[in-house]
Structure 1
C-alpha cells in the first residue's frame, strides 16, 4: 500500500472509531450490557447462543439448593414449578406481539414445530372451505428452511397423508390452493438473515383457507413480530438465541386464542390433560395454551430462562429493532470501508424491511477466516459452504465492538489467501 493510501486508510478507521464512540454515547440500551456476563471478546454469535444474563447463576443456585434441595416436591406448588410453562409464556408473549394465555413454554423447537404443523393440518380439515370430497392434503414448506423443519414437515406430511411441497417464501402466494392445509415458514432465514414478510404471507395463506405456522427462532427477541396483530395461527420459537435463555433452553409454542378449543396436538400427554392427576385412561385436553404441554417440564432450564428474561424489564422491542438496524448498518458501512471490494459478498438484504438481526458475508475461504477471527477475539460462526454469519444482539453489543469486528475481519482477510 502506498503512503498516501495508508494515511487515508488510517484516517478512515479513526473516523469510524470516533463515530462508534458517538453512537455508543447516545445508545439508550447501552446500560443493559452490564446485566450480562461478558469479557473483551466481540461476541457476534447471539443468533446461535445468547450471552449469559448475570441474574441466571443465582437463580439456578436457588432452584437447586433451596427449591429442589429443601422444598423438594413441594416446589411444584410452593415454588410455582407447575405453572411455569404458562407463566414464562406470558413473559415472552409481549416480545412477540401476543396477548397473555396463548404461549406455553416447554420441549424443543423441533417438538413444537411437529405439534404445531400436525395441529394446523387437523384444524384446516375441521374448517375446510372446499366442501365435501375436497379434503386438504398438501403441506407447503419453506424450501430454504433450517433442515430440521424440513425433516419434520416431511414426517408431518406422512402422518397426515399429505403431499409435501417445498416452495421459496416469495413464491408461496402463487403456490397456494384449495388443497393447501398448512404452510410452515421461517420469519428470518438462518443462513442469510433475510426477513420474510409475515403480514402479507399470513394473509395470503388465510385467503387460500389454510393455516400458517411461523418459525420465529431468528426473530423472537430481535424485532417486532406482531402475532396477534397479523392473525398468525400458530408459531414456535427457541429461547437460547436472542432471548438468552441458555444452551438447550425450552422452546415456546403459540396457539392463537380463537383456535385453542380445537387445537388437537399429535403429542397428548398427562401434562396437557384436563385432569392431569386423575390418571384417566381416556385423554381429555385441557383448556387454553395448556394443550401445548406434553410431559413433565424441564424445570432447571425453565427457571434459568425465567431469570434470563429479566433483562427485558423496561425494554421495548421497537428500541431493540432500531438499534439492531443501526448496528447492522454500521457494520456494513465499516466492512465497505475496510475490506477490499470483491473480497466478500453480502448476502443479507440491505433494505431494512428485509433484514433480520444478522449479517451474512460470502467468501470462498469462510471456514478458515472464521477460525482466525475467533482466535483474534471476534466470535461469529460459519455455515457451509462459504458463509460468515454475524449476529447482533442489541442488548449487549455496542458500536465500538462492531467497528472492531469489521477492522479485524479486514485484517484477517488481508492475511488469508482468497
Structure 2
C-alpha cells in the first residue's frame, strides 16, 4: 500500500490519533503517509482535480468547506479541470511525478491509469463497497483490485416533452423502436424546423443505445470485438433511415455546436425527444418548455425488434494518485465528500444519480421525481468494457461514424474500419 517510514516515538504518538481519525467508517488503518505536504504545525494540503460543471462545483465547494471546518488539520486545494482535456492532463502530470492527490476520474480512464501504474489501489481503504450499486462499482475494479470510489452514475435516457407528445395523441413515451419511429414522424414538421427527435451525428457515443437495441455490441469481457456484427449494422442503418427517409431529425453536421443545438431545440420545443443523461437535467429545466418540471419526461431507451435495449453506463469516481504523499488524508476527503448525505445533496441539486444504495433511501432522494424516473433507465443500462483501452475506443469510432452519416461509407464499411482499428488497439 503506502511506503513505510521510520518515525521516532514522539512523532508516532502525535500522529496516532489523526491516523485513526483518517480511517473513518471503513475500519481500515492505512499505513503512514509518504511525507505529506505539511508545514511544521500546519495543515496537510490535499490537491483535488475536479471535472465537475459549474453547477456541481458550487455544491462541491460547499461540501469541501464543511469538511475543512470539521477537519482543520487538512486543507483541500480544489482545481476545476475542463473535462475534455482532463484525461491527458492527469496522465501527463502523473507520469512526470506531479499528479494531484485526488482526481475525479471518468469511469473509462480508471483502468488505463491503473495499468500505467498511476493510481493507488484502494482495497485497504474502501471497505463499504456493499453500499454501492453494482454497475458503477464494476468500473472501479480492474485486474482484481479496486482503483476508485464511485461518485456518480449515469446513462442516456429518452427525454421527451410530455405536452408535445400528448398534443399529438401520445400519452406515453414509445417503448419500442417502431413506436419511436411512429411518434417521431408524427411530431416532425421539417418545413417549420420542428422535429420529433434531435440526434447527434458527430459523436459515436450517442449511437450505443441504438446499437444495443438492434443486438449489436462493443467489446465483450473476453475482448471479442462486436462493433461490426449484424445488430450494430442494423442499428446504424436504422438511424440514417430516421434522418433521410422519415426526416425526423435535421440533416446537419456541426461538431462544434451540435450538443448546444440539441439542448436549445429541446428547451424551446423545436425538438420533442432527445437522448441525454442526468448531467443535463439542471440545464434542461432552465428551458421555457420546462418551467413546469412535470412536463419533462424521462424514459428508458425503446427496445429493438427482439426486445433488446441498452444504454451506456457512465459516471465518475474518485481516485488517488500513486505518487501522492498524503494518501490517508486524501481518502479521508473522499470519504467525507462521498458520504450518502453529500451524494444526496449533489443528486437533488443537480439532477444526478447517486452510486450509494443508502443515498436512495434518504427522504430528499426518494421524493425526487426526476431521480426516481431515471431508476428504470439505470436498471436497463449496459456496462462498457472495463479495459485499459476503454477510454480510447471512441478515437477510431467517431470518425467512421461521421463518415457514414456524410455518405462516404456504408454502415458495414464504417464499422469494419472501427473493428480493424480496435483490433490494433487491443494488441498494444
TM-score by length of structure 1 reads 0.29
TM-score by length of structure 2 reads 0.29
